[in-house]
Chain A
């Protein structure tokens, strides 16, 4: 009996240790997801962003094309973007202005020209949010689109997960 009784606390100790270990692992994970980071009651929200936009050339800033238009999808909102076209790549900074703030992302894409259309595709990183979208982040969102080489009108589609 003594022997048997002596085993119980050992098992309990192991169990408690295991729970503590789990808690220690789970703690930072939850923290990292942002559930307990920030004011009480505010929980990180993951949004599956599916957005498409038609943009028109507004002006040129050096080699960059400054574009403006309207996005539709997860957010129906105005969009501004700056596209820089390189021989085989396009870099872009895109900002969407949903109600209550803005979300900005930086895109790195490949670029191929076929006749009067340029095609781009690559990744978008959400780098900034303002207002209700302050702290917005997201990596490796997909972005693709076309550039009309007569007018520099651009169609763009973006999809992926954004942390708000």
Chain B
């Protein structure tokens, strides 16, 4: 009992030490699965909200890692039957890449601090399969903003192996976007994207004919882990601070 008590105390101390590291920025992660049935292929919907200290705009982000549960990896899907080159995306937008490269879509908002005020920017977001980088799968988040700042942005994410209870992580770089010369940098405030086949149709040649093909998404394991399927995000900011957020998709009666 004494040992358990000491262990619990150490754990509590560690938790309290860990929290201030990300105290300047905070983040909230939400994830849903559609369909949410064990053993079925699904679409993961990830939403991330980033907040600055005391309700102020967050600092610009430099990278974020999305961590997916064990046995729920992108590598075992049939998503992304074509590879999209980031340069083609920046030059020609979505028209520059095959529709078979799309693996999800969503939206993003950014904030620009101007004096004491903040200007908010909305953008559409598309997730595409990029070319393999150092033999790793690469996911490209293509962000297209119109007003007040017009910008096309590619956030490259490398799919990497993770440690239990996670299976894969998506290490995503966020480039700096200056609003205007000598102006402040855009700071990502919300990021949401699906990864999965929902609303996606691919086309393939089969015996000389072009036929539609519905890709298979991430498979939900047959057994739901205690507490639900674990997802997490680790966020790194340009000012050197970090924060993290975690979310567990609850086990349903189906799982």
Which residues of A line the B interface, CB within 8 A? Answer: 60, 62-63, 65, 84-89, 110-116, 149-150, 152
Given A65-B76, A115-B82, 16 extra CB contacts under 8 A: A60-B219, A63-B167, A85-B73, A86-B75, A87-B75, A87-B161, A88-B135, A111-B135, A112-B132, A113-B129, A115-B83, A116-B81, A116-B204, A150-B78, A150-B213, A152-B78
Interface centre among A60, A63, A65 (most CB of B within 10 A): A63
CB-contact partner of A110 in B76, B82, B135, B160, under 8 A? B135
CB-contact partner of B221 in A62, A150, A152, under 8 A? A62
Q: Is the CB of B219 within 8 A of A86?
A: no
Q: A65-B76, A115-B81 are in contact. Are A87 and B137 (CB under 8 A)?
A: yes
Tell me, in angstroms, the Cα distance from A149 to B136 when the chains sit together: 16
Interchain nearest-CB distance for A19 vs B (Å): 55
Tell me, in angstroms, the Cα distance from A152 to B82 when the chains sit together: 16
**Chain B minimum-CB-distance residue to A62:** B71
Q: Is the CB of A116 within 8 A of B137?
A: no
Residue B168 at the chain A interface, CB threshold 8 Å: yes
Residue B159 at the chain A interface, CB threshold 8 Å: yes
B47-92 contacts to A (CB < 8 Å)? 71-76, 78, 80-83
Contacts across chains A and B counted by CB atoms under 8 Å = 61
Between-chain CB contacts (< 8 Å), 18 pairs: A60-B219, A62-B221, A84-B76, A85-B73, A86-B73, A87-B136, A87-B137, A88-B135, A112-B135, A113-B83, A113-B129, A113-B137, A114-B83, A115-B81, A116-B81, A116-B82, A149-B78, A150-B204
Residue B222 at the chain A interface, CB threshold 8 Å: yes
Which 4 A-B residue pairs are closest in the complex by CB-CB distance? A116-B81, A87-B159, A63-B71, A85-B75
Tell me, in angstroms, the Cα distance from A149 to B80 when the chains sit together: 9
Which residues of B line the A interface, CB within 8 A? Answer: 71-76, 78, 80-83, 100, 129, 132, 134-137, 159-161, 167-168, 204, 213, 219, 221-222
Interface centre among B73, B75, B78 (most CB of A within 10 A): B75
CB-contact partner of A150 in B71, B81, B132, under 8 A? B81
Interface centre among A85, A87, A115 (most CB of B within 10 A): A87
Q: Is the CB of A63 within 8 A of B222?
A: no
Residues of B within 8 A of A89 (CB): 161
Residues of B within 8 A of A152 (CB): 78
**Chain B minimum-CB-distance residue to A116:** B81
Q: Is the CB of B73 within 8 A of A87?
A: yes
**Chain B minimum-CB-distance residue to A110:** B135
Interchain nearest-CB distance for A130 vs B (Å): 29
CB-contact partner of A113 in B71, B132, B168, B213, under 8 A? B132
Q: Is the CB of B71 within 8 A of A87?
A: no
Tell me, in angstroms, the Cα distance from A113 to B74 when the chains sit together: 12
Interchain nearest-CB distance for B73 vs A (Å): 6
Interchain nearest-CB distance for A149 vs B (Å): 5
Q: Is the CB of B76 within 8 A of A114?
A: no
Q: Is the CB of B71 within 8 A of A149?
A: no
**Chain B minimum-CB-distance residue to A117:** B81
Residues of A within 8 A of B136 (CB): 87-88
